[in-house]
Amino acid sequence: MAARDWSVNRTAPTKRTAWNALQIHYKKVRHLHLRDLFARDPLRGERMNAEGAGLFLDYSKNRITYQTLRLLIELAEESGLQARIDAMFRGENVNITEKHPALHIALRTPKGTSIIVDGKNVVPQVHAVLDRMAYFCGRVLSGDWRGHTGKQIRTVINIGIGGSHLGPMLATEALRSYADSSLTFRFLANLDSSAFIEAVRDVDPAETLFVISSKTFKTIETVTNARAAREWLVSKLGGTEDSASKHFVAVSANVPEAAHFGIGTPNIFEFWDWVGGRYSLCSAVGLPLMLAIGPKQFGQMLEGFHQMDMHYLATPFDRNLPVVMGLLSIWYSDLFGSQSFAVLPYEHYLARFPAYIQQLTMESNGKQVTVIGTDVTLQTAPVCWGETGTNGQHSFFQLLHQGTALIPCDFIAFIDPVHPLGNHHDLLMANAFAQTAALAFGKTADQVKVEGTPEWLVPHRVFPGNRPSNTILAQQLTPHTFGELIALYEHSVYTQGVIWNINPFDQWGVELGKDVARSIMSYLENTEEPVLEYDGSTNALIRRYRAMRKEPDKAA
Ligand code: F6P
């Protein structure tokens, strides 16, 4: 049956023929230096790049030869990558442990397309919700939607965590210069009461709309903050819980639970269990962004996503940006053994991009078993971290240049600045390009000596180079390019997941901590001294906390 074609690969990645060939090849090329690779092939910089869906990827500063890429592509082919991509786009249950499709691509599919899930075309549903969101945004922005006291909404506070937080927060910040409203946005995620206090500080409750965003509507952080928001509103506005109803909308795949919380069904924007939390920005989870930039520009972002989706689906692997990036990531993680990679956007508005990509990559691919439950015999998901340029240069770049770890970097830059100002952008770009060159080519002891450096100082001033990087260039940060960029990483993550033969769409690893926290909470709430049943360390911490905390009535 076609639906199973993608899932029957029982061969461990390391047992594949292409893997073997790749290992042999790695041993031959691992010591090659980028200096030599470029010296031998002056056209390398012009050849080792790929362009698609509005993005340009220069991957020439990677420690690879043309043969490396060919072998990586053979590995992708032997791993059934195209079949897995097709299966995801067809809406098959690629999220096998939760028995769901992973159809984030359907969220940005144009009207008129058909993607069938359980015998039903989901595309009309997607557009019906987008239309409802647009209508709602129109009401809020025009002042037709008013709060309990009749005041217009001026502040939107998104309450959600993980995928229900990072996406809307990143996107609203990234595209804030495209905002066509004067709304103020805040994003509340953490359980920490200080986060709540800061989110509502200096905000007029009569002008505040809370968007409670949770796929499950059961997440403790979100439910606790939503309850606190309702109490805050009732206490500030007076009256009953009804007085808060004009100040709440929900975004959820669990409509009954959101309704149970007290949000009227007309104010609930639905999404579906076939959308993973960290892949949900294009769903109603993007409501704050739509409120900020309006439905038209939100649509442009969806188009950007869709273009990259189509590029991923139909472009030969050697010119396919997400495939090339995903395979290079495998090359470093599993052949060179590098344990992290840095995401370095040279764009102020993408300050939260590394945090977003962190959840995307690490929650998706931080897995230890394959889709058939056997051990993954390779190192999965490298740690993702990063910072905007040039800030990072004055912080951790020292380690990138002269540390002992090999950390591949993604430099992300734009040809045109969002706000031209003097020579700022040329300087910014000069720095981005300079870093990729300095990392790749370094500076030899001879070069250092020629500068008249005293002998004893020479070792300290040597840059070994051979530190790999990708450079991703786009014309300008716009809603469209933003969509392209996120989709690029989504599909790169999927590509890696396919090679490891894991399921990038579940996240069982977050469950144990939640269970234990629920159990510990019952001991913290216990008025009697409880008999604790954990390990010695955890028991002692609980006892110490109980003994030393201020009683709630004394706390103020
Ligand atoms: O705990 C992890 C997680 O399930 C993420 O995968 C998800 O994005 C986040 O929590 C929030 O979940 P929800 O949207 O259901 O509140």
pLDDT tens digits for 35-50?
999 999 999 999 999 9
Phi, psi of 133 (to 5 degrees): -60, -45
Residue 248 pairs in a beta bridge with: 210
The residue count for the chain: 556
**Tokens at 11, concatenated:** 């061969």
Q: Output the CA 506–ligand 1 centroid distance in Å.
A: 10
Across the range 483-499, mean pLDDT stands at 98
Residue for token pair 């080792």: 48
212: amino acid identity, one letter: I
121: left (phi over 0), alpha (psi -120 to 50) or beta: beta
Largest CA distance in the chain: 79
DSSP 8-state class, residue 202: T
The structure's pTM equals 0.97
Residue of 161, 360, 364 to test ligand 1 pocket, by largest number of atoms within 8 Å of CB:
161
Please confirm, yes or no, whether 33 is among the known catalytic residues. Answer: no
Contact (Cβ atoms closer than 8 angstroms) between residue 111 and residue 303:
no
- Catalytic member of 363, 387, 484, 490: 363
Please confirm, yes or no, whether 394 is among the known catalytic residues. Answer: yes
Rounded to whole angstroms, what are the CA distances from 436 to 176, 346, 431?
Answer: 29, 12, 9
CA dist., res. 208 & res. 226, Å (int): 13
- Percent share of the chain, pLDDT over 70: 97
- Whether 196 shows a pLDDT value over 90: the answer reads yes
**Tokens at 298, concatenated:** 């939100």
Contact (Cβ atoms closer than 8 angstroms) between residue 252 and residue 217:
yes
Question: How confident is the model at residue 180, as a pLDDT?
Answer: 79
- Whether 246 shows a pLDDT value over 90: the answer reads yes
The distance of Cα 60 from the centroid of its chain, to the nearest Å, equals 25
Question: How confident is the model at residue 238, as a pLDDT?
Answer: 86
Question: How confident is the model at residue 218, as a pLDDT?
Answer: 97
11 pLDDT band (50/70/90 cuts)?
confident
556 pLDDT band (50/70/90 cuts)?
very low
Pocket of ligand 1 contains residue 161 by CB under 6 Å = yes
pLDDT in tens, 56-114: 999 999 999 999 999 999 999 999 999 999 999 999 999 999 999 999 999 999 999 99
Measured at the alpha carbon of residue 470, what is the angle toward residues 165 and 438, in degrees to the nearest 5?
120
pLDDT in tens, 135-187: 999 999 999 999 999 999 999 999 999 999 999 999 999 999 999 778 999 99
Which of 193-207, 239-253, 297-311 bottoms out in mean pLDDT, i.e. has the lowest? Answer: 239-253
355-361: Cβ within 8 A, 24+ apart: 355/166, 355/170, 356/166, 356/167, 356/170, 356/486, 357/384, 357/386, 357/489, 358/384, 358/385, 359/162, 359/163, 359/166, 359/278, 360/278, 360/279, 360/489, 360/490, 360/493, 361/489, 361/493
Q: Output the CA 214–ligand 1 centroid distance in Å.
A: 7
Phi, psi of 51 (to 5 degrees): -135, 135
Q: How far apart are the first and last CA of the chain?
A: 65
Residue of 170, 191, 216, 225 to test ligand 1 pocket, by largest number of atoms within 8 Å of CB:
216
Contact (Cβ atoms closer than 8 angstroms) between residue 261 and residue 212:
yes
Contact (Cβ atoms closer than 8 angstroms) between residue 178 and residue 367:
no
Question: How confident is the model at residue 555, as a pLDDT?
Answer: 45
CA dist., res. 457 & res. 359, Å (int): 41
**Among the listed residues 25, 42, 45, 31, the one whose alpha carbon sits nearest the alpha carbon of residue 470:** 45
Residue of 191, 219, 224, 261 to test ligand 1 pocket, by largest number of atoms within 8 Å of CB:
219
CA dist., res. 49 & res. 61, Å (int): 10
Pocket of ligand 1 contains residue 162 by CB under 6 Å = yes
- Whether 304 shows a pLDDT value over 80: the answer reads yes
Phi, psi of 250 (to 5 degrees): -125, 150
Residue for token pair 């360390």: 537
Q: Output the CA 289–ligand 1 centroid distance in Å.
A: 19
Question: How confident is the model at residue 552, as a pLDDT?
Answer: 60
Question: How confident is the model at residue 483, as a pLDDT?
Answer: 98
3-state secondary structure 465-491: CCCCEEEEEEEECCHHHHHHHHHHHHH
Say if residue 240 is preceded by a cis peptide, omega within 30 of 0: no
- Catalytic member of 15, 28, 514, 529: 514
- Whether 3 shows a pLDDT value over 70: the answer reads no
| DSSP 3-state of 80 | coil
- Percent share of the chain, pLDDT over 90: 94
Q: Are strands 116-117 and 120-121 parallel, antiparallel or unpaired?
A: antiparallel
Question: How confident is the model at residue 5, as a pLDDT?
Answer: 58
pLDDT in tens, 49-66: 999 999 999 999 999 999
Tell me the residue ranges of DSSP E strands in 41-153.
49-52, 55-58, 116-117, 120-121
Question: How confident is the model at residue 472, as a pLDDT?
Answer: 98
Using the atom order of ligand 1, give the atom closest to the CA of residue 213: 14
| DSSP 3-state of 307 | helix
**Tokens at 36, concatenated:** 């030599």
Rounded to whole angstroms, what are the CA distances from 292 to 51, 175, 476?
Answer: 30, 8, 19
Q: Output the CA 317–ligand 1 centroid distance in Å.
A: 32
Pocket of ligand 1 contains residue 277 by CB under 6 Å = yes
Question: How confident is the model at residue 239, as a pLDDT?
Answer: 76
Question: How confident is the model at residue 2, as a pLDDT?
Answer: 41
Across the range 234-260, mean pLDDT stands at 92
Question: How confident is the model at residue 26, as a pLDDT?
Answer: 98
The distance of Cα 302 from the centroid of its chain, to the nearest Å, equals 16
444: amino acid identity, one letter: T
Phi, psi of 417 (to 5 degrees): -75, 160
Please list, in sequence order, all residues whose beta carbon lies within 8 angstroms of the beta carbon of residue 151, skipping any fewer than 6 positions away: 204, 206, 207
Across the range 120-125, mean pLDDT stands at 97
- Whether 264 shows a pLDDT value over 70: the answer reads yes
Rounded to whole angstroms, what are the CA distances from 225 to 158, 259, 265, 280, 299?
Answer: 10, 16, 20, 21, 30
Cβ burial 237-266 (10 Å sphere, 16+ → b, else e): beeeeebbbbbbbbbbbbbebbbebebeee
Residue 375 pairs in a beta bridge with: 369
The distance of Cα 31 from the centroid of its chain, to the nearest Å, equals 33
Q: Output the CA 262–ligand 1 centroid distance in Å.
A: 21
